[in-house]
Amino acid sequence: MSVNFNGMPRKNRRRKKRVVPLEKVPSHRIRLVFFIFCLSLLGLSGRLIWLQVLQSSVLEARARAFQTHLTKPLGSRRAIVDRTGRLVALDEERFRLWVHPRYFNFPGDDPSLIRKPIDVARKLSGLLAMPMSEIVTRLGDRPSGVKLAEDLDHETATQIRKLGISGLDLEPYPQRVYPQGPLFGNVVGFLNHDRIPQAGLELSLDRQLVRHEIPRTLRRGADGTPLPDDLAPGFFYGDDLRLKLTLDVRLQELAMKALAESVKRWDASKGVAIVMNVNNGELLALASTPTYDPNRYWKFSPSLFREWSVQDLFEPGSTFKPINLAMALQEGVIWEGGLVDDTGRIDIGGWPIHNHDRAVNGVIGYPKILQVSSNVGMVKTMRRLKPSVYWDWLHKLGLDSRPHTDLPGAVAGQLKSREKFIMQSIEPATASFGQGFSLTPIKLAQLHAIIANGGYLISPHITRGLHSEAPVTVTAPEENIRLFSEEVTLTIRNWMESVVVDGSGKGVQTPGYRIGGKTGTAQKALNGVYHPGAKICSFVATLPIEDPKYVVLVVIDEPKGEDAFGSTVAVPVAKEIVDGLLVIEKIPPTTKTKDFSLSKG
């Protein structure tokens, strides 16, 4: 027996291990476990097939919904710019503020806390420039969907977002803005509150001005990184096209100011000023007064929403005399050195026709007829042209047809029927000094452009088409129909220059420049009856005569006063426009001035 260190016997602490005899597992138990295992695999396989095959499209759609960001187009429109690129119309992003009081909560608040409307009104009052009491009143006891403000600019919207207040929703939308205000109101038009075009180019070119926009979708990863796959065609396309005008803001502003001052001074009903490039038909200015501000269209009469220079008819009077003389020259019934006996009065079909000043000018040449604006001289001149040929020329010039132009609302003039014109001798007689028919101011400018450019009928227009922000290359105009020969138009231009040198157009003289012109003072008719004292004063200038580039037309409707004539009313306006045009277009002065001392007779 063993003993411990105390001398005591040591017990045997070893225990015998329990031995479990192996037993054979029943076969039914193994089969049960195997069945359960197989059933589990079958269930997992079935679930996998259900998810991967049968539910794959649904799950993929859910994933795409979480991964995909959809941006809907706002329905914006293309900008409109003048010939130098200055903005005339554009879309600015504005915001509506919707509030949902049941979600009012400030940053750092307990998520379950709902702030009172007065707390939110205190923070919004300064940004919206609205009293807190008014904000609270508008919110009332409505729990959601209250439109608190609109027409908020981007800066104000950013400040509202920085507040971080739950329950505030900013809805972006485009707002049409016209930076030039009334300057182009008569031409560009406007959109109403529902963004529906109502007038001008906004209406006539609506389809071209709608910006190319498509709904944009972009997949993002879990961290927000854009995924490059599955992008829709045209996703990165940016529509930067703008409608480019031929008009010049500087010249338009100058013309509008001069025109408005004249209309006010003479207490006239309205006025128009047109500057046209005679070689390609581009309009550099198309100013009308009275006009309106398209940014505040609701404050103006709808009667102002039309451009009367292309929509209203008037009898041109003496400004049409150079066109008549061109017809006679082209037909060979008169010649450059021809003379006419101006007796001061002539009877046609029982109707007496006088000169405007009742003067008897005697035997005079055609330059003198234009200088003194002789009605009798014109009647005798045009009687040399057969009435049938005369009418055919008026028709060929397009007096009774709508001019081919992009100006919205352009209308045709009015011309007596061919039969009446031929049968009634008074008709060609009155037409010889610009009465008995009517046309629009834009048509009159187009006809004078024929004289200026060597005989070609061109189409007046105010747009150059859609362009990107890259510089615009102006292509040469297509060949137009020629109506008068170069020799005829050169002769007429020289006669018109004599009007500025020695006639009623002296007021437009500019030292160093050769300018041609013709004044007009026509009686105004209503329903075929001429009203005493009601008249239309006009003046047309062509410059520079030696190499014409521009026609300037000014028409003032119903100026008041005994001394209201084309020379006193319209010429001063044209003078201001011409002076500005010479500077803006950098037209060099003429080296030699023509002497008319031998052509006054």
Q: Choose among 199, 259, 577: nearest CA to 407.
A: 199
Alpha-carbon span 390 to 384, nearest angstrom: 10
Poorest-pLDDT segment among 61-65, 140-144, 199-203, 526-530: 526-530
DSSP 510-528: -TT---EEEEEEEEEEETT
At 30 the pLDDT is: 79
List 318, 373, 498, 538, catalytic entry: 318
Phi, psi values for residue 587, rounded to 5° = -80, 120
Please state, in angstroms and rounded to a whole number, the distance separating the CA atoms of residues 331 and 396: 14
CA atoms of 409 and 307, how far apart (whole Å): 8
Alpha carbon 59 to chain centroid distance? 50
Is residue 373 classed as helix, strand or coil in its secondary structure?
coil
pLDDT band at 473 (very low <50, low <70, confident <90, very high): very low
Bridge partners (DSSP) of residue 461 are: 282
Sequence-ordered list of residues with C-beta below 8 angstroms from that of 576, at least 6 positions apart, any chain: 254, 255, 258
Rounded Cα distance, 234 and 218, in Å: 12
Report CA-CA distances (Å) from 407 to 168, 189, 246, 309.
45, 12, 12, 10
Residue type, 320: F
Q: Residue 231 has what pLDDT?
A: 56
In sequence order, the β-bridge partners of residue 197 are 191
The confidence score (pLDDT) of residue 226 equals 60
CB atoms within 10 A of CB 349: 9
Kind plus residue range of the DSSP H or E element containing 408: none
Q: Which regions of 423-527 does DSSP assign to beta strands (E)?
A: 456-457, 463-467, 481-482, 516-526
Residue 357 contacts residue 373 (beta carbons within 8 Å): no
Tokens in use for 493? Answer: 């231009």
Alpha carbon separation from 586 to 43, 274, 455, 580, 589 (Å, rounded): 89, 19, 25, 10, 9
* Residue 133 burial class via C-beta count within 10 angstroms: exposed 0-12, middle 13-18, buried 19 and up: exposed
Choose the most confident range, by mean pLDDT, from 36-40, 534-538, 593-597.
534-538
Structure tokens, 149: 């403000």
Taking residues 331-355, what's their average pLDDT?
A: 93
Give residue 339's pLDDT.
95
d(CA 253, CA 246): 14
| Dist. CA 282–CA 442, nearest whole Å | 12
- Residue 51 pLDDT level (bands cut at 50, 70, 90): confident
Q: Is 318 a catalytic residue?
A: yes
Q: What is the pLDDT of residue 595?
A: 53
Across 215-238, average pLDDT: 59
Task: Name beta bridge partners: 272.
Answer: 288, 555
Using H for helix, E for strand and C for coil, what is the string for 89-124?
Answer: EEEEEEEEEEECHHHCECCCCCCCCCCCHHHHHHHH
Cα dihedral 233/66/100/94 (nearest 10): -20
d(CA 152, CA 135): 16
**What type of residue is 124?**
L
| Dihedral angle over CA of 7, 9, 10, 15, nearest 10 | -170
Query: What Cα–Cα distance (Å) separates residue 274 from each residue in 315, 390, 523, 548?
Result: 17, 28, 21, 16
Whole-angstrom Cα distance, residue 90 to residue 184?
Answer: 13
Residue 134: both structure tokens together: 């008014």
Q: What are phi and psi of 28, to 5 degrees?
A: -70, -30
Q: What is the pLDDT of residue 587?
A: 94
- pLDDT score, position 570: 97
Which of residues 427 and 9 earns the better pLDDT score?
427
Report the SS3 class of residue 78. Answer: coil
As a whole number, mean pLDDT of residues 36-43 equals 86
| pLDDT of the residue at 408 | 87
Which of these ranges, 441-450, 521-530, 584-593, has the smallest mean pLDDT? 521-530
Task: List, as one string, the DSSP characters of 379-394.
Answer: HHHHTTS-HHHHHHHH
Among residues 354, 277, 330, which one has the least CA distance to residue 585?
277
User: Which range has the worst mean pLDDT, 65-69, 116-120, 490-494?
Assistant: 65-69
How crowded is residue 415: how many other Cβ atoms within 10 Å of its Cβ? 22
Residue 288 main-chain phi, psi, to 5 deg: -135, 145
CA dihedral angle for residue 438, residue 439, residue 441, residue 447, rounded to 10 degrees:
-120
- What number of H helices and E strands is found in the chain? 19, 19
Q: Give the number of other CB atoms < 10 A from CB of residue 488.
A: 22
Q: Is the pLDDT of residue 475 over 50?
A: no
Enumerate the H helices of 140-248 as residue ranges: 154-163, 185-188, 200-204, 206-209
Domains in the chain, start-ordered, CATH in brackets? 84-176 (3.90.1310.10), 178-239 (no CATH), 249-291+315-584 (3.40.710.10)
Exposed / middle / buried, residue 223 (Cβ in 10 Å: 0-12, 13-18, 19+): exposed
Task: Look up the pTM and report it.
Answer: 0.81
Region 15-31: mean pLDDT is 73
What mean pLDDT is predicted for residues 389-397? 97
pLDDT at 487: 96
Asked if 543 contacts 514 with a C-beta cutoff of 8 angstroms, the reply is yes
Residue with tokens 């046309």, as numbered in its chain: 439
Q: What is the pLDDT of residues 194-225, one digit of tens each?
A: 899 999 999 999 999 988 766 666 666 665 56
Structure tokens at 218: 């972009």
Residue 363 scores a pLDDT above 70? yes
Q: What is the pairing mode between strands 80-81 and 68-71?
A: unpaired
568 vs 469, residue with greater confidence: 568
